[in-house]
Structure 1
């Protein structure tokens, strides 16, 4: 997952930075799982372009992305939002996480009580990918895609998992109001991921700083 552009604006849905003026129209489109499957190769190409650091990483990273995408498209409630101008320049994908808590499998230590309760009540939405073409990262597009992706889901909390070694991505999410609640270990590897959450202020009285504080002390 790539990092959204840094912003001083706090997280949530209280607003977003306006998109910069463009020479070509920007078209935002919401896709279901079948439409996403039809665009998977373009999405993988953009992912590789946006994230690759070496030729070998680009090859393996693209394969890993396609494997994740195939798995995620079959999750109930999966949605993708794309931005095209007219070529694909960004997208965000996500789904409501299962109430059984399987999303948190491999979490190191006790899961914060607030997160556990919201998961059991079906009010947590996972953002699985936010990918923006590098030349578009200063236009506020990631903010807009995140906001619209979450808009149609009655969640009280958003979550995402970021590879611990991707420090820029972690910093980007934190700068936009996301909070680090701990580490999560996944196979193969194992891969060590940072679990980040974003309380959605309009839908809960939970204070983001309180949630993050409780996560740190548990």
Structure 2
């Protein structure tokens, strides 16, 4: 009836290359920690009985990979797909330009953490999503 594809986003931040403006710090932190999973494709056979299947597939894929944040890039001319992702709780964080081609993409993220009054975006401080630090407090990836 359908399938969803994706992969873990590399910690080096290349997924966000071409992002217009500064990347939100919380998203940069989750990317560096290896807790971001990209949804690259969702394919569902159109059938009236299967409403909600695409959303279920993306939720299952993200849960199976224990992601803290889902990420996807959408062609901004495809309003139907954009509206569907937004209705599933995905947040539009900005625009990315990728080469080759003039197509600008919308960068959407889906926070998978707990949503509370203290964490209204689901991305507040979480020690499990920080880069590991050595005893001297220096990030080993920065040496």
Q: Tell me whether the two structures share a fold, i.e. TM-score over 0.5.
A: yes
Deviation, 1:123, is: 0.8
Deviation track 1:106-137 (CA, whole Å, cap 9, x = no partner) reads 11111011101110111111111111122358
Deviation track 1:38-57 (CA, whole Å, cap 9, x = no partner) reads xxxxxxxxxxxxxxxxxxxx
Taking the aligned partners of 1:122 and 1:174, their CA distance within structure 2 comes to: 24
The number of equivalent residue pairs is: 123
2:17 corresponds to 1:105: yes
2:46 corresponds to 1:134: yes
Structure 2, gaps ≥5 residues long? 125-143
The verdict on how the C-alpha distance between 1:119 and 1:206 changes in structure 2, with shifts beyond 3 A counting, is farther
The verdict on how the C-alpha distance between 1:200 and 1:210 changes in structure 2, with shifts beyond 3 A counting, is closer
Let me know the Cα RMSD of the aligned residues: 2.4
TM-score in terms of structure 1 length? 0.52
Whose helix proportion is higher, 1 or 2?
1
Of 117, 121, 125, which aligns to 1:208?
121
Partner of 1:12: none
2:84 corresponds to 1:172: yes
Q: Which has the higher contact order (CA 8 A, sep 6+)?
A: 1
The question of whether the paired residues in 2 share the 8 Å contact of 1:198 and 1:208 is answered with no
The verdict on how the C-alpha distance between 1:191 and 1:97 changes in structure 2, with shifts beyond 3 A counting, is same
Taking the aligned partners of 1:152 and 1:203, their CA distance within structure 2 comes to: 20
Of 141, 150, 155, which aligns to 2:62?
150
The question of whether the paired residues in 2 share the 8 Å contact of 1:199 and 1:206 is answered with no
Deviation, 1:102, is: 0.3
Matches within 5 A, 1:2-17: none
Taking the aligned partners of 1:165 and 1:138, their CA distance within structure 2 comes to: 25
SS in 2 for 1:150: helix
Question: Structure 1 stretches (4+) deviating beyond 3 angstroms?
Answer: 202-206
TM-score in terms of structure 2 length? 0.77
Deviation track 1:14-49 (CA, whole Å, cap 9, x = no partner) reads xxxxxxxxxxxxxxxxxxxxxxxxxxxxxxxxxxxx
2:17 corresponds to 1:90: no
Structure 1, gaps ≥5 residues long? 1-88, 212-218
Partner of 2:35: 123
